[in-house]
Amino acid sequence: MQVKACIFDLDGVIVDTAKYHFLAWKRLADQLGIHFTEIDNEKLKGVSRRDSLEIILQIGKTDLPWKVKSEFAERKNGWYLDYILNMTPEEILPGCLTFVNQLRNAGIPVAIGSSSKNTRIILERIGLTETFDAIADGNIISNAKPDPEVFNMAAYMVGTEPGNCVVFEDAIAGVQAALNAGMMCVGVGSAQVLGKAHFVVPDLTSMSLDKLLTIGKEILL
């Protein structure tokens, strides 16, 4: 394939906000009397807020009226916002800026593709709002990953065909969304977990423009 644009998930690829999500979801689960662990939290990666609450309720073998679910989801988001408003550029994950700047210097558009509705707040706090050519997030899409909508939207925003885009993802749902969009996917994290991706690296310190172009030549979508 010809690499003409790169799309990055936010949580777990650019910054690690999973810890803040866990703290907020655990606080909510405790209020509901549901035992919620960090292992359980893995199931929520790349999943929308509403669907995440449904998973927690399933873990607790309980259910709530729709209105109450909405109230709890907003309560969790309020706690999460309190955490991320204190984020700083120091929380940008290793290798991210070096790799993204390599892409930008080579004239390859870079975009964010995240289901999070807090994407712009996080990017502002860590000083990367102007770094990306496009930001597709939960505020402008209707369907969460593994639906490919957010990645297709990001591709559209940078004027690139999906088949010429590379997605960087740390979640199973995100990898599947990239594949559903017909894009090449580089998993960021565990090869055991992200085995469906075309290629997996432990983090972005393992990526470079040369490596990306080499991978792209070897992948036929």
| Helix, strand, or coil (residue 7) | strand
User: CATH for 18-84, among 1.10.10.1590, 2.40.37.20, 1.10.150.240, 3.20.20.70?
Assistant: 1.10.150.240
- Residue 12 has what DSSP assignment? T
1, pLDDT greater than 90: no
For a pLDDT cut of 70, what percent of the chain falls above it?
99
- Judge: domain 5-15+92-218, CATH 3.40.50.1000: yes
With cut-offs at 50, 70 and 90, classify the pLDDT of residue 216: confident
Q: Are 93 and 16 in contact (CB under 8 A)?
A: yes
Residues of the chain with CATH 3.40.50.1000: 5-15+92-218
- State residue 45's pLDDT score: 77
- State residue 221's pLDDT score: 61
Rounded to whole angstroms, the Cα distance separating 5 from 164 reads 7
Q: Quick one: average pLDDT of 22-28?
A: 95
The set of catalytic residues is: 9, 11
| Helix, strand, or coil (residue 139) | coil
Q: Quick one: average pLDDT of 127-138?
A: 97
Cis status of the peptide bond prior to 65, with omega within 30 of 0: no
46, pLDDT greater than 80: no
108, pLDDT greater than 80: yes
With cut-offs at 50, 70 and 90, classify the pLDDT of residue 106: very high
Residues of the chain with CATH 1.10.150.240: 18-84
Q: Which residues contact 211 (CB under 8 A, 6 or more apart)?
A: none
Write the pLDDT tens digit of every residue in 28-37: 999 999 999 9
* Distance from the Cα of residue 44 to its chain's centroid: 11
